[in-house]
Amino acid sequence: MKVVIVGNGPGGVELAKNLSGEFEVTVIEKEELPHYSKPMLSHYIAGFLPEEKLFPYSLEWYDRRGIELRLGTSALFIDRAKRVLATSKGEFPYDVLVLATGARAAEPAVPGKEHLLTLRTLDDARRIKEKLEEEGEIVILGGGFIALELAGNVAKAGYRVKLVHRKRNLLGLDEELSERIRKELEGIGVEFHLETNVLSASENGLNTDRGYIPGRLKVCAFGIAPNVELALRSGIQTGKGILIDDSFRTSAEGIYAIGDCAEYNGMILGTARAAAEQARVLASILKGESASYDFFGSTVFKFADLSLAIIGRTDGEGKWLDDETRVFYRGDKPVGAVVFGDLRKALRLEKEIREALN
């Protein structure tokens, strides 16, 4: 059986790895590079990691596994009747097609946006790193995990960091948890400008509703835009992402979607961990094994030296079990948790919560 995968991010590469040997697997990727780690990009920007360490799999690795990797190849259109994927470098027939096209960084919509950079690809990271080394400081827009990871790593490396966020809360967490994260990051030098709206950007800084913030290097890290265009152009149903059912099936027969491009029940999980887990479950489904995925958001982050796990639903009051662990409930049932520090404890708790929900 021929499986063609569009996208060589964590979703695509994990799926290829799990199907290789049993299926004929082709990966179509528009970038010229083999798979690299996006979660490590801010470590690379900060100078903690040389560029070559971003690549977990060499080109020989793909060869050894019998995975045909087509780099520098853009998927353009799916002829669903003929089961053929048209690309910038020819046509690829498939029995099963998997869209793992990921997302791009959400674009800012303020006047002067050409003075703002975004962070998604290694090219973006190279550009930011070069400018950071020239300027010695950075202004980061956003209060999600990409913004905080970048702020934490770059501050730890000794650069001056200002973080501008329109809300008071970080990571969508409540005030108490946000405050704790803020204090940890302030401890290593991150300067916070919260509840601050950017009105416009210029070469030398930002105009905000709380005054002018100088800074020549400004990076937007606030959200993602799923890459749905290929699906849309090919008549596959989309919402914010490509719409899927609980077995990753799109509205088109023989075509599946996983990772940052895929939307299930209004949710796009948006993490490398979820993309790789979805890939493993889809691989089992395609092999005819019984497998299911429970679309339960859970991720571990590292903001400089602060490790943090956010598991499941974290809205509502919650109860501190100890200094490091707050659990959230619906009735008596635990539905989510936030764990600082001990990540083994976080994994145990995640298992308990998943079991309680099933």
Distances (CA, A) of 271 to 48, 258, 301: 22, 11, 10
Q: Which is nearer to ligand FAD, 184 or 260 (CB)?
A: 260
Q: For the chain, how are helix, strand and coil distributed in percent, rounded to 5?
A: 30, 30, 40
What number of other Cβ atoms are within 10 A of residue 316's Cβ?
12
The C-alpha atoms of residue 323 and residue 358 are separated, in whole angstroms, by 28
**Binding-site ranges for ligand FAD (CB under 6 A):** 6-12, 28-31, 38-39, 41-42, 74-75, 100-103, 119-120, 146, 149, 227, 230, 259-260, 270-273, 275, 299, 301
As a dihedral over the C-alpha atoms of residue 60, residue 64, residue 66, residue 68, rounded to 10 degrees, the angle is 0
The C-alpha atoms of residue 344 and residue 36 are separated, in whole angstroms, by 26
Q: Rounded to the nearest whole angstrom, what is the least distance from the CB of residue 222 to ligand FAD in the complex?
A: 12
Q: Which is nearer to ligand FAD, 6 or 201 (CB)?
A: 6
Q: Rounded to the nearest whole angstrom, what is the least distance from the CB of residue 9 to ligand FAD in the complex?
A: 2
Q: Rounded to the nearest whole angstrom, what is the least distance from the CB of residue 336 to ligand FAD in the complex?
A: 17
Q: Which is nearer to ligand FAD, 205 or 223 (CB)?
A: 223
Q: Which is nearer to ligand FAD, 6 or 208 (CB)?
A: 6
- Give me the residue whose beta carbon is nearest to ligand FAD: 102
202 membership: H or E segment, kind and range? strand 198-202
Instruction: Return the closest-CA partner of residue 171 out of 201, 151, 197, 156.
Output: 151
Which residue stretches of the chain are H helix?
10-19, 41-46, 59-64, 122-135, 145-156, 175-187, 229-233, 272-286, 343-357
Q: Which is nearer to ligand FAD, 303 or 328 (CB)?
A: 303
Q: Rounded to the nearest whole angstrom, what is the least distance from the CB of residue 200 to ligand FAD in the complex?
A: 25
Q: Rounded to the nearest whole angstrom, what is the least distance from the CB of residue 250 to ligand FAD in the complex?
A: 14
Q: Rounded to the nearest whole angstrom, what is the least distance from the CB of residue 111 to ligand FAD in the complex?
A: 25
Q: Which is nearer to ligand FAD, 69 or 188 (CB)?
A: 69
